[in-house]
Structure 1
Amino acid sequence: MASPPSSLVRQARYRGRRGAIHVAARWIATGPWLLVLALTGGGCSLAYRLDTTLGKRDGADQADSQRSVPPNATAEMPSESDLAMARAAVSEVLSKGASSVPWENPRTGMRGTVTPLASLYSQNGIPCRDFLASFVKSGSESWLQGAACRAKRGTWEVRDLRPWSNS
């Protein structure tokens, strides 16, 4: 059998390492740009989270926000078992140095979060910290503000707890 003419047969060209070096050079050239893009995009996202976390919102944002429910300062105090769960969450959030800790009482259906408000301060030589606790049940939400101080055993004890007033 005769072979086809050489003009019809295409020979595969050996490219060797030259192509691999070209691809590597392209990645090296675009790598820094990808890093810059990732850092600037991440920075914008972080700044947004910090602004909303720290409460830097303008009036229009606050008016449009449907997520926040105004606290009910006239609500009655939660039950003692709910307060015990919230106190345990206060001790946990302050011991761990966390930004917020959720809590839940399965017996009553009450749940919420505890969030430290300010940095440590000293009261008669004892370290203390203010906090805000939310109480949510059946769509109704109330808030309590309080202060906890570090006990001799290293645990945190709630010293003050009252309905939160937005003043």
Structure 2
Amino acid sequence: MIGATAGGCSVARNHAAFAQMEDGEATGSIAARAHAGPTDTDLAFARTAASDVLTRGSKDASQPWENPSTGARGSVTPLAQAYTAEGRTCRDFLASYVNEKSESWLQGAACKARGGQWEIRSLKPLRS
């Protein structure tokens, strides 16, 4: 019996072995699963919510959004005060993105068009 317990596989409790892998990193022949980001339709719903919350102009307001076809959802929250860029009134915002078990953040900027509507100038993953 001693030979059976002393031999065979050992289990190392090396915490580095359990460290989170970077996107695209592979172990052996099994590739890491790519993080699924927002679809174009998810982004369209987030953009609409951003335009809506900026149009209302309320301080400290958030606007929820949901894409019923993908199940993705989140909210958009304006940041700080409006500023002028290229002669237009602009504002930055954060948008949350939740789909199944993943959650992430998007950062964006919008500026008022000549007709008074907000146009989303950028919407991309938030870099930490």
Q: Same fold (TM over 0.5)?
A: yes
- How many Å separate the matches in 2 of 1:144 and 1:75? 14
Offset of 1:134 from its aligned partner?
A: 0.6
1:147 to 105, 109, 114: 109
Alignment of 1:32-51 (within 5 A): none
Q: How many equivalent residue pairs? A: 93
1:61 alignment counterpart: none
Contact 1:75 1:142 in 2 (8 A): no
The two structures have a TM-score, normalised by structure 1, of 0.53
- How many Å separate the matches in 2 of 1:155 and 1:90? 11
1:84 alignment counterpart: 44
1:163 alignment counterpart: 125
- How many Å separate the matches in 2 of 1:77 and 1:149? 25
Q: Which runs of 5+ in 2 are unaligned?
A: 1-33
SS of the equivalent of 1:120 reads strand
The two structures have a TM-score, normalised by structure 2, of 0.68
The change in CA–CA distance for 1:143 and 1:153 in structure 2 (over 3 A counts) is: same
Kindly provide the amino acid, as one letter, of the partner of residue 92 in structure 1.
D
Kindly provide the amino acid, as one letter, of the partner of residue 111 in structure 1.
R
Contact 1:117 1:132 in 2 (8 A): yes
Q: Which runs of 5+ in 1 are unaligned?
A: 1-73
- How many Å separate the matches in 1 of 2:40 and 2:119? 15
- How many Å separate the matches in 1 of 2:37 and 2:100? 16
Question: What is the alpha-carbon root mean square deviation over aligned residues?
Answer: 1.5
Offset of 1:140 from its aligned partner?
A: 1.1
Structure with greater strand share of residues: 2
Q: Does 1:93 align with 2:56?
A: no
Using the aligned pairs only, state the percent identity: 57
CA deviation vs aligned residue, 1:111-137 (integer Å, no higher than 9, x gap): 000000110000011000000001101
Kindly provide the amino acid, as one letter, of the partner of residue 41 in structure 2.
S
Kindly provide the amino acid, as one letter, of the partner of residue 100 in structure 2.
S
The change in CA–CA distance for 1:135 and 1:83 in structure 2 (over 3 A counts) is: same
Q: Does 1:112 align with 2:74?
A: yes
Q: Does 1:137 align with 2:99?
A: yes
